[in-house]
A and B are shown apart, each in its own frame.
Chain A
Amino acid sequence: MMQRTLMIDPVTLAVLKGRLEQIADEMDATLFRSAFNPIIAEAHDASHGIYDAITGKTLVQGKSGLPVFVGAMAFAVKAVIDKAAKDGNLSEGDVYIFNDPYDGGTHLSDFKLVSPYYRDGKLYCYLASVGHWHDVGGNVPGNYNPEATECFQEGMLIPPVKLIEAGKFRQDIVDIMQANSRQPISLYGDLNGQINALELGERRLTALLDEYGDATVQDALVELQVRAAQLMRMNIAELPDGTYSCDDWLDNDGIVDEPLKIALDLTISGETMMLDFSRSSPACAGPVNISLSTAVASVYVAIKHVFNDVPANSGVLDPIEIVIPEHTMLAVKAPKPVGGYTETILRLIDVVFGAMAKVAPERSNGCAYGTINALSLAGHRRDGRRWVMFSFFGGGHGGHPEGDGLNHGNAPISTATIPPLEILESAYPMFFTKWALRPDSGGAGQNRGGLGAIYEIELLEENADVFLFGERGRYAPAGVHGGGYGALNTFSYEQDDGYHKPPMVSKMVGIKIKKGQHLHLETPGGGGYGKASERDPKAVVRDVGLGYVTPEGAKRDYGVVLNKNGTVDQEQTDKLRASVSQ
């Protein structure tokens, strides 16, 4: 470790780290509890933090918010800094609002509120809040429009504007947004929750600065970045130099049925790392493009999963260079559609895991299920009222050095929980006929991938339109170190003549179903870790006994043959495993 002169004593630093994180955590909790739409309240698709006054870099981030926002919000704050510099009218008491995904990251559903924080008339830092709103206009309720070719079909686009100008609330801005949403009341409730969170953050930060002094807190903020960067450099320095590549694919963009490549060449050189995504596919017609800010944010998520001992601030990215040429689908500009960004960044995270597995097996894990499966059912009730059910679904996590992957986990980009099925059934005219683990869906391996799930829905109302935005219908989640693939995502919908599958496998708009007809979704499991032939036959027997793996799967994927009574047929197993390993 290099000897440096500390600006702040190590004990005060440790104390302030906890105090600062508590402020951001409390902002998260405030919004989760008071939000109107379940995507924030239950799925925690929101985030709060404290950001640098000049660069907009993330200084402190709440622990419970959506991980991908950690990196993205730095761009959002920078967009406000640039806008204010251009207009030359930043003042105390301002709150900016916007959802421009090209400057601020992610997609149109995410509304960012950014507020400059002043001390004694001088700009000290920024506070920001981001939350996923229920409906922001566009062609499809809930805004997951797999057929969008321009952002205008995905929803309204609000550039950074002042929602509160020097303490004065501008109702006209809210009126414009409410007029453009199918869920104006939900929008109003969520907006209020975000303002409450910012006000709370301001009060808490003021109390902290009063107690410790502006300079000491400032020193702590700087020192925490330095420490994160230093720790990250130490982590990278331990890895062998070289270039490691990993490619993965998206099924299609929803418009043109051709696979799209996400390609990474990861170079370790001393204590720095370069991630080069230049070999990835060019910008596409449909909504699986992402903006540069989103791409950088998702690299941050992947790195933080692998090196989870590094504090969550922008210092993590200091020793990391990210190369993403403008012609790729990973750095698009307006008006290219970006509504399905979640699918693309999940793949981007997968290739980081895949490349890391080649460098540092002991830190890696098989890929997680890799698709959020945004499913919406919409229609009108007998009394004419409109209903929209919208949810994301879970899948398996990858096998890892310590054991099998988690069954039915949430996506690596989020900490979201799924709403209880009883809550969904009480709110909408549909019910589930199945909500279960999916046998044989975990990638085979010495440590097996976690299982995906089977969800089946029956309609109770006369008619409904169904929208699905998913992935992994053709390219399964990969294992690492010889681990096998998780199962593919499959979706089918019932019509009078039986079940059908979407031509684009996991993406479709406007499916019409009738009362009594079903939707059937089977989600991927995680990829395996290590060779399946090295899995202890006893563990395979246990998996078969619990129904995680079928007897056929045990034989096919693990080379383990079971007797009728469920025990291992050692002779057959040895023979089979010997023949497979040759």
Chain B
Amino acid sequence: MSDQAKYIVGVDVGGTFTDVFFLDEQSGECSVAKVPSTRPNQSKGFIEGIRSGVEDFSELATVVHGTTVGTNALLERKGAKTGIITTEGFRDVLEMRRRDRPTTWGLWGQFEPIIPRNLRLEVPERTLADGTIYKAVNPDDVKAAAQELIDAGAESVCVAFMNSYANFDNEQIAVKAVRDIWPNEHVVASSEILPEIREFERTSTTALNAYLQPPVGNYLQRLETALQDDGFKGQVLIVQSNGGVMSVDVARRLPVRTALSGPAAGVIASAYIATVAGFPNVITCDMGGTSFDVSLVADGESSLSAQTSIDYGMIIRTPMIEITTIGAGGGSIAWVDRGGLLQIGPESAGSDPGPVCYGLGNDRPTVTDANLVLGRINADRPIGGKLDRLDVGAAKLAIEAHVGKPLGLEIMEAAEAIVRVANSKMAGAIRLVSVERGHSPNEFSAMPFGGGGALHAGALIKEVGLKSALVPRYPGVTSALGCTIADMRHDFVQTISCMLADMDIAGLQNHMGEMAAEGRKLLEDAKVKFGSLDTVFELDMSYLGQTHTVDVALPVEFKNGVVPVSVKLIEESFIARYAQVYGRPLEGIPVRVLNLRVSVIGRRSKFDLQLLAPKGDNSIKDAVLGHRDVWVDGGWHQATRYERLVLPVDAEIFGPALLEQPDTTIFIEPDLVGTVDSYGNLIITRQE
């Protein structure tokens, strides 16, 4: 790497804007850029975004990317034409799911699998649950099936056999046979993606991976070529759903791990910013146009979930940052149902046509319209800069017609009711990830990022009983910032399925050692500088007879290729974890081990957030923009307006106040106070 390669750049491509965060490692300076996203070819906006900050691409050391290419391909069903080869008798596993339906009430559900039935072919073979090969696979059968899929136009082929988690011999023979006649990187076996018990979840994850390989691979290829054409010689890293980064090579092989790439980067950044600011317990709140995403960070660590459903029947089982989404965004439509109850969403006006006040054709009131009518948004300064001004009159008419009249409320009361019910829905999502998981809300702070959350943060801390809210200095570029600090992380799983008492400890140690070593090798191959390397070992365990497991982290270290672990240590760790999750452990029931999970993490150095802090010696007065009336609790209050980025460190702003900045507006309610900390974050608490 030449001396001139000094920039680390984070790029987050969203639906509307591409955000770029630049960090000059030599001078320690950073800057941000926002350019319109380009679709369908996102790499164009990507390159333009970087160029707006750095002309000479040979100055770029590392480019880290949070991408929604994979997510969009899944949601819009625009992946590759994919074929699958399965065990004879089981080609419909992908379509039969776990025999569920989309909604509890009403039986009108439909499901279209991403691989149609005519591209799901079977070959004779069978492995039993204990790993015995009951029927060997014949490579010629596999080749014939693969040829049929290729002839049918498949761009990607996967192999998923029953019980391949217990013994992958048949699957490996089969995938080799496919590669023999069709040597390319778009051929994959389920045991290479997820050697874990549960055939539907494994098959679905494998199929979705194959479905994404061509589009995500092509996109990354275009990106790398475009960067290199302009003199780039550094590393490109991709953010995974687990919040860690991976190399482009790994991303091309495992694109399914990018499903939550964009949102994960935002959570990672939030966790870091909050921890540095002295708030290791936060709940991140990302309010977009159609949805509200929350995620819990406890002790500075974001929580991971084992699997997620991208859409009905589209299950991806790999560790992902746990993000709970509800349909309550700025564009969510407020309406009164036939029983006379005020509802918010799930229908949304999105960003096009968007809220009524955009004047782009929607005439049903949204949460943003209510915020505008209540005076919380500046009609003359819409965020994002796409529109010149917002139409308050139209918003009022819509609220009156669709909410006020049916409920017998005045316009202002109706607008406040919309915000209150929306806040209540958002509070429900926060409770779901905190109270329902046994966390006490008064130990947590809300951390809004993205464009809309900061308007509601104050109400949320009151409604849920949170300690405070922390609004980062640049909420709009949080995800791009997160890209630059994310660690490199690789997760592995292997199903063990045995009683703890019968555990082959030497065998388990071997597995642990091999998986850890494979992870370390991936870290080395990426040629990235790490501060330190961590390896985390977990077992999925339960009492015999339970089907749900608890994740038990083992307090052991990987040293010189050895992992010191014992049955006693495993048992003690299980009992402690079980008690933590469910209350009391149970007596006299044998304990079972289902899966081994290993995560290998390369810690990347973090930049000093002090770099973002307010500079100069402004006074609070310098930041005052004027006043505006806001409607709160049934009456008008005069709120002072401030230019947020001009406020100095330690400034105390008492509500009611509105803090404006290019990418968001912060509302401090009458009984709250906001304080600027030494990093430029705004901490909102109750007035004493």
Contacts and interface: CB of A to CB of B under 8 A. Distances in A.
Contact of A415 (B95, B100, B108, B343): B100
A15 interface: yes
B197 A18 contact: no
A437 B339 contact: no
B117 A547 contact: yes
A365 interface: yes
A422 B199 contact: yes
A406 interface: yes
Given A185-B545, A308-B103, A546-B117, A192 B586 contact: yes
Contact of B100 (A22, A305, A417): A417
Interface stretch (B137-145, B420-428, B514-522): B420-428
Contact of A548 (B103, B117, B342, B425): B117
Given A35-B546, A436-B89, A406 B407 contact: no
Contacts of B200: 420
A392 to B, nearest CB: 9
Contact of B341 (A14, A312, A545): A14
Contact of A410 (B99, B111, B129, B420): B99
B545 A186 contact: yes
B424 A231 contact: no
B91 A10 contact: no
B338 A37 contact: no
Dominant secondary structure at the B interface: loop
A581 interface: no
B92 interface: yes
Contacts of B583: 196
A403 interface: yes
A310 B105 CA distance: 10
A398 B128 CA distance: 35
B306 interface: no
Given A18-B424, A435-B96, A437-B92, A425 B341 contact: no
Nearest to A417: B98
A437 B586 CA distance: 41
Contacts of B339: 227-228, 230-231, 310-311
Interface in B114-156: 116-118, 126, 128-130, 134
A432 B543 contact: no
A365 B420 contact: no
Given A41-B547, A394-B96, A456-B89, A425 B128 contact: yes
B338 A189 contact: no
A565 interface: no
Contact of B165 (A1, A365, A394, A422): A422
Given A26-B436, A423-B547, A453-B96, A406 B110 contact: yes
Contact of B105 (A186, A305, A456): A305
Given A228-B339, A312-B105, A417-B99, A37 B545 contact: yes
B434 interface: no
Nearest to B119: A546
A63 interface: yes
A341 interface: no
Contacts of B103: 308
A10 B107 contact: no
Contacts of B98: 417-418, 420
Interface string A398-424: 101111111111101001111111110
Contact of B198 (A15, A41, A422): A422
A400 B100 CA distance: 17
Given A312-B105, A423-B547, A406 B128 contact: no
Contacts of B106: 305, 308
A153 interface: no
Given A19-B428, A29-B436, A409-B107, A433 B89 contact: yes
Nearest to B197: A422
B118 A547 contact: yes
Contacts of A351: none
B176 interface: no
B548 interface: yes
A309 B338 contact: yes
Nearest to A9: B417
A442 to B, nearest CB: 13
Interface in A363-422: 365, 368, 393-394, 397-398, 400-410, 412, 415-422
Contacts of A32: 548
Nearest to B578: A34
A60 B8 CA distance: 53
B432 A421 contact: no
A208 to B, nearest CB: 11
B108 A365 contact: yes
A38 interface: yes
B546 A408 contact: no
B503 to A, nearest CB: 16
A67 interface: yes
Interface in B71-112: 89-93, 95-101, 103-111
A67 B547 contact: no
A408 B104 contact: no
B545 A404 contact: no
A6 to B, nearest CB: 9
Contacts of B198: 420, 422-423
A426 B436 contact: no
A17 interface: yes
A15 B423 CA distance: 9
Contacts of B128: 425, 431, 460
Nearest to B96: A408
A568 interface: no
B497 to A, nearest CB: 6
Given A425-B129, A456-B89, A67 B104 contact: yes
B136 to A, nearest CB: 16
Contact of A418 (B90, B99, B111, B134): B99
A189 B89 contact: no
A408 B118 contact: no
Max chain A Cβ within 10 angstroms of own Cβ: one of B99, B118, B343: B99
A196 B579 CA distance: 13
A36 B543 contact: yes
Contact of B586 (A11, A37, A67, A189): A189
Interface in A524-582: 545-548
Contacts of B107: 305, 365, 368, 397-398, 400, 405-406, 409, 412
A545 B118 contact: yes
Contacts of A234: 338
A42 interface: yes
Contacts of A421: 162, 199
Interface string A419-449: 1111101100001111111000000000000
9 contacts: A18-B428, A304-B105, A397-B107, A403-B110, A409-B109, A416-B99, A432-B162, A435-B92, A436-B90
Given A33-B548, A393-B99, 8 more contacts: A14-B421, A400-B107, A420-B199, A422-B162, A433-B89, A433-B126, A435-B96, A456-B89
